[in-house]
């Protein structure tokens, strides 16, 4: 009797395995059929209406994971107007994927000129979307097609803002050899957990008498990010421009700068700026743009006191969220901002293509392939 029971149990397990295998095979076949019927073409401004529909669906899914992204900007008309403006005012190069006339995915990027990386492609947060039922492979195919156009325009540095609510976009670009460079995070000011403060640190709001103080502090972040393991070049002309920009912060109406002082020495700062509504910014949010603490005052509670005081001020001003971003290779920032309560919602991911591909390719008649046989 026991032997018969074991045989029945084994047979049931066999049937379950067969059904599971059949199910996954059907998914694979379905995916192959879907991909085989997809057409790829260059994006044009007339595609904006379909793009806004698809982007709205993508962002609604993001809002299920990050409710604060269900903002006033998330509606078809706002997205359509925004995308139209991008196509009209910027040098946009993109590719769309359609299935039986329906838009199922797209990627577009803007050609930018950087003094550090030269000609490059910037793919904004709204610069790509695929239907929820499409595999991440579609993003990889879209990139393979659009990157060929970018290379022909002399753009070998490709920068993407990757939405992080689901793993689909991140997985696709990791498998395309992209690497995380920058993290974008959001913090709820009402959920903030204050740090234990140092009584030796005092905080004040900067005023026009603090121009020289701000000028002296302007290079804190640049200096730190020039060091290992970040290695951002410190171009003299850029550093000089940053100094002048910091001096003018106290003249800006939509800017708030907090200064930290201990032992009569100014030793750190936080700078907040009012921001425009966008797909990435929660309603009623403000941006923490820059921050820094003098090296000799690190790990002495200066940054924590700045954050405690800053959060209280921002809360009294009526804001609900603070947004910021940081270099993932900046060890201090990568440790401190998550401790403050900033949750990553997007990554900037980068891939640098070897510029030799501009000439070292099989379209070059000087490259001959010797065949045998």
pLDDT band for position 371 (50/70/90)? low
Tokens representing residue 49 in the block: 């209406």
Q: Would you state the structure tokens that stand for residue 168, as one six-digit string?
A: 């689909």
Q: Which residues contact 229 (CB under 8 A, 6 or more apart)?
A: 329, 331
- Determine contact, residues 65/186, Cβ cutoff 8 Å: no
32-43 pLDDT, tens digit each = 445 668 999 999
Q: What is the pLDDT of residues 146-192, one digit of tens each?
A: 999 999 999 999 999 999 998 999 999 999 999 999 999 999 999 99
Nearest to 191 by CA among 21, 37, 84, 67: 67
Q: Alpha carbon of 174 to those of 96, 141, 350: distances in Å?
A: 21, 14, 10
Residue with tokens 């769309």: 96
**Would you say residue 29 has pLDDT above 50?**
no
CA distance 96 to 256: 42
Per-residue pLDDT of 56-93, as tens digits, reads 999 999 999 999 999 999 999 999 999 999 999 999 99
DSSP bridge partners of 257 = 271
pLDDT digits (tens, 9 = 90+) for 261-308: 998 899 999 999 999 889 999 999 999 999 999 999 998 999 999 999
pLDDT tens digits along 10-25:
555 555 554 644 554 4
Residue 230 and residue 329 in contact, taking contact as beta carbons nearer than 8 Å = yes
User: Chain-centre distance of CA 78, in angstroms?
Assistant: 21
| pLDDT of 2 above 80 | no
Query: pTM (2 decimals)?
Result: 0.88
Residue 303 is predicted with a pLDDT of: 95
The H-or-E segment that residue 10 falls in is helix 2-36
Q: Is the peptide bond before 245 cis (omega within 30 degrees of 0)?
A: no
Share of the chain above pLDDT 90, in %: 79
Q: What is the pLDDT of residue 32?
A: 43
131 vs 106: CA distance, rounded Å: 10
For the chain, give the percent of residues with pLDDT over 70: 89
What pLDDT, on a 0 to 100 scale, did the predictor assign at position 115? Answer: 81
Instruction: Please list, in sequence order, all residues whose beta carbon lies within 8 angstroms of the beta carbon of residue 290, skipping any fewer than 6 positions away.
Output: 221, 269, 270, 271
Mean pLDDT for the chain overall: 90
Residue 332 near residue 224 (C-beta atoms within 8 A): yes
Q: How far is CA 272 from CA 86, 129, 206, in A?
A: 26, 31, 12
3-state secondary structure of 301: coil
pLDDT of residue 21: 47
Residue 60, classed as helix, strand or coil, is helix
State yes or no: pLDDT of 5 exceeds 80: no
**All domains of the chain, ordered by start, with CATH?**
37-183 (3.40.630.30), 192-340 (3.40.630.30)
Q: Is pLDDT larger for residue 369 or for residue 199? A: 199
Asked whether residue 102 carries a pLDDT value surpassing 80, the answer given is: yes
The two beta strands, 118-123 and 157-163, are: parallel
């Amino acid at each position: 009797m026991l032997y018969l029971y074991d045989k029945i149990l084994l047979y049931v397990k066999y049937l379950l395995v067969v059904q599971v295998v059949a199910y996954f095979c059907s998914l694979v076949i379905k995916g192959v059929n879907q991909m085989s019927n997809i057409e790829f073409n260059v994006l044009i401004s007339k595609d904006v209406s379909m793009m806004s529909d698809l982007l709205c669906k993508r962002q609604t899914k993001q809002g299920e994971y990050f409710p604060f992204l269900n903002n006033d900007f998330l509606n078809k008309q706002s997205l359509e107007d925004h995308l139209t403006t991008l196509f009209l005012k910027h040098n946009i190069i993109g590719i769309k994927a359609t299935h039986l006339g329906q838009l199922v995915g797209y990627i577009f990027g803007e050609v930018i000129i950087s003094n550090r990386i030269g000609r490059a492609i910037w793919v904004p947060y709204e610069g790509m979307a695929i239907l929820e039922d499409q595999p991440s492979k579609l993003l990889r195919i879209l990139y393979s097609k659009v990157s060929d156009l970018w290379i022909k325009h002399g753009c070998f540095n490709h920068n993407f803002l990757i939405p992080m609510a689901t793993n689909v976009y991140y997985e696709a670009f990791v498998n395309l050899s992209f690497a995380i460079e920058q993290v974008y995070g959001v913090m709820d000011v009402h959920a903030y957990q204050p740090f234990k403060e140092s009584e030796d640190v005092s905080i004040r709001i900067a005023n026009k008498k603090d121009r020289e103080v701000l000028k002296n502090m302007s290079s804190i972040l640049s200096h730190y990010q020039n060091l290992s393991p970040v290695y951002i070049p410190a171009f003299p002309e850029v550093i000089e421009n940053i100094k002048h920009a910091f001096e003018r912060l106290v003249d800006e109406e939509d800017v708030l700068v907090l200064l930290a002082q201990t032992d009569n020495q100014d030793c750190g700062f936080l700078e907040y700026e009012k921001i425009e509504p966008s797909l990435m910014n929660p309603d009623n949010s403000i941006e923490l743009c820059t921050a820094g603490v003098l090296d000799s005052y690190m790990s002495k509670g200066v940054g924590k006191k700045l954050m405690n005081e800053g959060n209280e001020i921002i809360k009294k001003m009526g804001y609900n969220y603070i947004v910021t971003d940081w270099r993932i290779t900046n060890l201090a920032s990568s440790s401190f901002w998550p401790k403050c309560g900033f949750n990553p919602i997007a990554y900037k991911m980068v891939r640098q293509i070897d510029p030799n591909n501009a000439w070292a390719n099989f379209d070059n008649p000087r490259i001959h392939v010797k065949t045998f046989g």
